[in-house]
Each structure stands twice: as C-alpha cells, then as structure tokens.
Amino acid sequence: MATSGSVWRGFSTSPAAAAVAAAAAAAAAAAKPNKQAAAHELPLWCFLRQCGFSAAAISWMQHRVKGTRTSQQKVEQDLVPNIAALRAVGLDTATIERLYVSRPLLLHTSNATCIGALEVPRPLAALLPGDPCAVQAPPRATQLGVALWLYPAPAAELLRRRNLARLISGNLPLRQRLGISGSATAQAIFSNSAVLASDMQQAEALAAHLQRLQASGQLSAEQVARLALEPSGLSLSPAEFDRRRREGGAQALACIGLKDPKGRQQAAAAALGELLQAAAGVPGPLQQQHQQQGAALVKRCAAFMRATPTSLRANWAALHRTGLADGDIAAIVQQQPAVLTGNWEGDAKQLMAAWLQQELGLSLAQFLRRHVSHANKGVGRLAMRAAYLQQHRPAVWQRCYVRGAGPLLTLLCSTDTQFFSASGCTDYELSAFQRTWLQTPDGRRWGGKHKRGARRGS
C-alpha cells in the first residue's frame, strides 16, 4: 500500500454503478450528432469535439488514425462508455485528451478491453510510491486516476492490453522472487508497459538464470534488479541474454532490451566520430582517429546505445543553435558525453534554460561551458530547492549566491543527504514544502509535467 503521508486518494474497488451510468449517459448525449456541426465531420471527431477535446489534439489525431473506421454505432458502443469509465476514476477532459493523444489507437479499443484494463491495474496503482507531482492531478482522481495522470502514454498502452490480468499476476511475484518490491515493479510497469513479460515460461527461465549468475558473483543484486525492471528485460531466453551481454559488454546490462548491442555501439561511435571530425574542421571520410574517439565516448556512456545517429546529429545541431561553437560542443561532449543524449529542443530543456537565465543569470551556453556536470538534472528539483532556500533558509541561499553560480548549483544538485546537511532541513520538511510549492504558479511552471519533445527516428 502507499506509504503514510502520500498524496494518493482513496477509492472503492469497483466504481459506483450510478456514477458510471451517469457519466455514460452524459457521454452518450454528447455522442449524438450535433446539427450545427459541419456536415462532413466524421462521427469520431464530432464526438471528441463535443466532449471538449481541443482542436489541436483532434487535428493531431486525425493524421494518425482513420476516423472512417469508427462508425456512429461504434462510437456509442465503445468510445462513449470508455470515456465515461475514465471520468469515473476522476479524470478530467484535459487528462483524458492527453491519454488519447499519447496513444491515438486507444480510440479504437473495444469497451470490453478498456473496462477490463481499467479494473485490473487498481491494486497495482495502490502499490505506487507517493509522488509529490500528484497534487497537480484532477482533484477527484482515484489512485488509478492519479496513476493514469502521472504516466499517460504507457498507461494508455496498458489500457489496450487484452491479457493484462494474466500478465500482472505473473510478473509481480516473479519480480518479488528476485528481491524487487511491489512498489518498484508497479512504478516500472506504469512507466513502460514493455516491462511486462508476456511469455512467463521464458521469463521464469531467465529469472532462474539471473539468480544463478548472482549466486556465482557474476552479477550483483543491484544489476539483477535493474535487468528485471528493464523494458523487455525478462522477455529473453537465457541464451539470448548471454549473447547480448557477451557482445555488448558491461554496457549491455543497461540496455539489455536492445537486439543488436554491438551494432548500436558501432553506429553511435561512427556518428560521434563524424561530428567530432567535422568540429575539428577535417573534411573527407571518417578517419580512424575520430572513429576511436567516438568509440571511447560510447564506452563511457551507455545511453549512447539507445540513441540513433539521427538523434545525435539533431541534438548537436540544437546545442549549436544555443550559441555554442562546434569546438565548444566537442569539448563539452568529451567532458560530459551524456549531454548529447538529451533532447535540447524538448520542453524540459527549454524550461531549464529559462530558469537558469531568470534565477542565475546564466545563458544555456554559459551553463554548459562552466557547469556541464549538472546538465542532466531536472529543472523541477533545482527550482524547488532554490525556492525552499530563498523562503526558509535565506542565509544559506545568500552565502552560496554571493560565491557565484557554481557553488549554488553544486548545492542544488547535491544528493538528499548532502542537501539536508548543508541547508539544515529534514526530508519531511522538504517533502511538505514540495507538495505546497507544486500548487503555486512557480511550482506549476517549473515543477509540473512537461513534454520531452518528439522522438527522432533513425
């Protein structure tokens, strides 16, 4: 169950039938064709518009699903009760819109699949650890509703799974036998539904294999736990697991779900080598010297195995647009390779740049040149800690501030233990402040949920 002091709301195991019926009736009324609607508009889009979905969201989904597949009858049989069920767990229109935008194919999910998928993960949602951001969820959201709000894209994928009950009932105890708590497993599943192993016989075999490797000292308990919560981590046969581990080396353990770890490493190394060679002003085909530099960076940073050559080039170009010269970017990447795996055009990074400029007077280029070791920290954590110091520990804030951005960032980015010691606060005090701060304008701006930016293909 959720820990005491958490922000989860209570819920009944089965939503009140009257509430569901009322919501369904209201949605059904909205599903009736509006005479004032454009005559050419298909039933699906007409219904979503009447439900309150934004024009931008509808336009986005129109390019990804075919409204012609959804007749007026299917809208009333499936989509109407589906949205009613989502409202019954306390979700508002904006949150429901986010779910469907995250996974537009959810529009075509049958009512039987959706209702079953909403019922099954309720106990799983109850296992989730408390999340301070949940105070921003719709006020009437149940525990399941908060989980759907926190993890819209993977949760929408869960709602499309027909065999969800069997998968959860098999995966939870399997992880527990590997020493993983139900809370950690629940968070991993809601974060990425690919964590759910579908072939339980194969998952059992791999779990036993991991236990043998741990007993022999080849893997630590921490490595086994990380592997078991990796997307597709327990979907491999023992032989395939050993092959990927052998080919990818120690880094493969962090990305065991990737089919071709060696190929991924080679592709990332080549892309990095080309970028470094171009930054050095050397024309022509990729030279061995720069190829080796790229390979060395990949060995230092396992995150490059998840990146595509296209995304690496795009992130380099985005950093260039912030005012950094190619030589500066090359030096930064050599110092902190993971910088190039972040999407510097995404909302989260743009928000970080805005906060640094407003609070510390640093441009993004200055920040990366001088304080690159903090580049992958979340802006919400920095902003919350800064606000706490300014309001409750002004002497600590001023003492660091007058020494410059470096000491201040070091404190804001420190571990919890280090921050508590330096600021003289407790975990309880900071957590209580965070819950309150997240409901303020600054908290909603800096600490809310932000889009990461579109993923780039290879």
pLDDT (tens place) for every residue of the chain, 458 residues total: 344 333 333 333 344 444 444 554 555 454 444 444 443 578 889 999 999 999 888 988 888 887 656 788 889 999 999 999 999 999 999 999 999 988 888 888 888 888 888 888 888 899 988 877 777 888 899 999 999 998 888 888 888 877 888 889 999 999 999 999 999 999 999 988 888 988 999 999 999 999 999 999 998 998 899 888 988 888 889 998 888 888 777 666 767 766 677 787 888 889 999 999 999 999 888 898 998 999 899 888 878 877 888 989 999 998 888 888 899 899 989 888 888 888 887 778 888 889 999 988 888 888 888 888 888 788 999 999 999 999 999 999 999 888 888 889 999 999 888 999 999 988 889 988 998 999 899 998 898 764 444 333 43
Q: Structure pTM?
A: 0.63
Q: Would you state the pLDDT for residue 155?
A: 87
pLDDT per residue over 254-283, tens digit each? 677 666 777 878 888 899 999 999 999 998
Q: Would you state the pLDDT for residue 258?
A: 67
- Would you put residue 281 in left (φ > 0), alpha (ψ -120 to 50) or beta? left
Q: Would you state the pLDDT for residue 215?
A: 93
* Residues 104, 76 contacting (CB under 8 angstroms): no
In Å, what is the CA distance from 60 to each residue of 100, 102, 104, 137, 441? Answer: 11, 10, 9, 24, 28
Q: Would you state the pLDDT for residue 26?
A: 52
Which one, of 26, 5, 18, lies nearest residue 435 by Cα? 5
The Cα 108–Cα 127 span in angstroms is 29
Structure tokens at 256: 């065991």
Q: Would you state the pLDDT for residue 49?
A: 92
Number of residues assigned to the chain? 458
Amino acid at 163: N
pLDDT per residue over 279-324, tens digit each? 999 988 889 899 899 989 988 887 887 788 898 999 999 888 888 8
Structure tokens at 376: 């992958």
Q: Would you state the pLDDT for residue 52?
A: 93
The Cα 453–Cα 444 span in angstroms is 19
Q: Would you state the pLDDT for residue 33?
A: 46
